[in-house]
Structure 1
């Protein structure tokens, strides 16, 4: 499984990012409040792959904090699913 790639939605009314790993949409990050004094970002993931759904989400104080939370949830899902990252060996 690849590391998460964050892609900003250009046509969305607020700052929003989809997190993907390869072709799999893992989750998203949304700006709830852009005011520097009360900045808040929501993050969430919902993977219904396998027997049980795996859902995580929350609110963070910055975009980078929300991305870190989503990255951690992605790592938890890979562990839960019995998957691991493989190192690419160059020929």
Structure 2
């Protein structure tokens, strides 16, 4: 049974800080790019590394959100076996 965010407040407690810090990261990277453009500097390798890190971080936050919908934050005795298998697939990088 998929869980909504309303049915899983413990999982949402994990997700809220992730969303807040993702927003901070997005704003920070946007300001960095804006400042480099304002100074008419070209992007360097470290800027591209920041883009890669940001994309991976956003993907991790997405996986966290997906994990919440399949039971992250819910006690294991309340989760169906099928949801445990789905949670293992979603939360384990392949």
Q: Structures share a fold, TM > 0.5? A: no
Task: Specify which structure has the bigger relative contact order, considering alpha-carbon pairs within 8 angstroms and separated by 6 or more residues.
Answer: 2
* Higher relative strand content: 1
Query: Which structure is larger by alpha-carbon Rg, 1 or 2?
Result: 2
* Higher relative helix content: 2
